Amino acid sequence: MIGVNLDGPFYFVRALLPGMIDAHWGRIVNISSGAGQNGGGPGLAHYSAAKAGVLGLTKAIALEVAQTGVTANAIAPGVVKTPILKNVPDDHLEELTHRIPVGRLGLPEDIAGACAYLVSEEAGYVTGQVLCPNGGFYM
């Protein structure tokens, strides 16, 4: 779990960061999870720990490269309607949906929009932050 969810972003950033620094411009957007902020729930300690690590990694990188023209931020989505949910019982998904203030699960497009903002010129003053598109599920 840590190998994919934490080591992956670490090695990816390590490979690309020197080129971004040389170019005096770059945008790093790591994908974490709400579980990295709230523990996720029973049985998710390994996943939550890895995703919390992504948040720490992102903030450490943001501090290290703050004056180079590179920003580093993370997205911590809530529950998103993807194929991974196909094994979750419908009644559990319905109960979960009722707990989300906007009344629906997230869509991949919701996360893509957050990412598009963080890689834009308009986000040049945003670094070391965690954007949480989650429909108000946790605040």
Question: For residue 56, what is the domain's CATH number?
Answer: 3.40.50.720
The one catalytic residue among 47, 117, 125, 138: 47
| CB atoms near residue 138 (< 10 Å) | 14
What pLDDT, on a 0 to 100 scale, did the predictor assign at position 93? 94
- For residue 89, tell me if it sits in a domain: yes
- In the chain, the number of structural domains is 1
Counting every residue written for the chain, the total comes to: 139
Nearest partner of 83 among 49, 107, 102, judged by Cα: 107
- For residue 68, tell me if it sits in a domain: yes
Tokens of 12: 């990816």
- For residue 126, tell me if it sits in a domain: yes
The model's pLDDT over 4-40, given as tens digits with 9 standing for 90+, comes to 999 999 999 999 999 999 999 999 999 999 888 887 7
The model's pLDDT over 46-102, given as tens digits with 9 standing for 90+, comes to 889 999 899 999 999 999 999 999 999 999 999 999 998 999 999 999 999 999 999
- For residue 38, tell me if it sits in a domain: yes
- For residue 137, tell me if it sits in a domain: no
Backbone angles phi, psi at 72, to 5 degrees: -135, 125
Its domain, for residue 102, covers: 2-131
- For residue 138, tell me if it sits in a domain: no
- For residue 86, tell me if it sits in a domain: yes
Indicate if 47 belongs to the active site: yes
- For residue 7, tell me if it sits in a domain: yes
